[in-house]
Chain A
Amino acid sequence: KAGVTQTPRYLIKTRGQQVTLSCSPISGHRSVSWYQQTPGQGLQFLFEYFSETQRNKGNFPGRFSGRQFSNSRSEMNVSTLELGDSALYLCASSFQGTGNTGELFFGEGSRLTVL
């Protein structure tokens, strides 16, 4: 099976711009989660989607949003970029059967630099 694929792998933006990141989960996985990884904070949960519905959201401002499509692919968007948004954004997919906190399968991440 192909792993979790994230695009783009690297991108540079300037303050005030917006960015869209994409994630294709492992085939058959219906849950997609997004995490922000920074050296000081580690991994911080952004949101989780299952069958096109957001089931949980982390403590991030409304500038961070996401969605999931019917084929389970997911996108996240960050608007009005700030310098502090520079980070590695990780996507993870999971099978997530009923009542199961499943293993997360991570992508390689999208490294965003905001200048």
Chain B
Amino acid sequence: GESVGLHLPTLSVQEGDNSIINCAYSNSASDYFIWYKQESGKGPQFIIDIRSNMDKRQGQRVTVLLNKTVKHLSLQIAATQPGDSAVYFCAENFGIQGAQKLVFGQGTRLTINP
């Protein structure tokens, strides 16, 4: 039978505006978080990461905020461009040395309107 994919949250913004993508993570013991961008038909591409001893980290046009109290992560993209259109996943790192994995969130589809 036909499989039905999960409905992704979507966000549409005008080119040049700022966007904020949110993510709730599950494990209070997770100490490393990553945002990935996935364009259609491609693998996840690293955007920015943050460790649990930080609340905020900035990159080029991107900022990640971490709120450990409520287990919430956000990705802010400033001055969005058409090339920012993609699905964005947050991922949390589980595990100890030699036994670790990334657990991905559901993803948010960001569309930049011209």
Whether chain B is bound by chain A comes out as: no
Q: A: which residues have CB within 8 A of B?
A: none
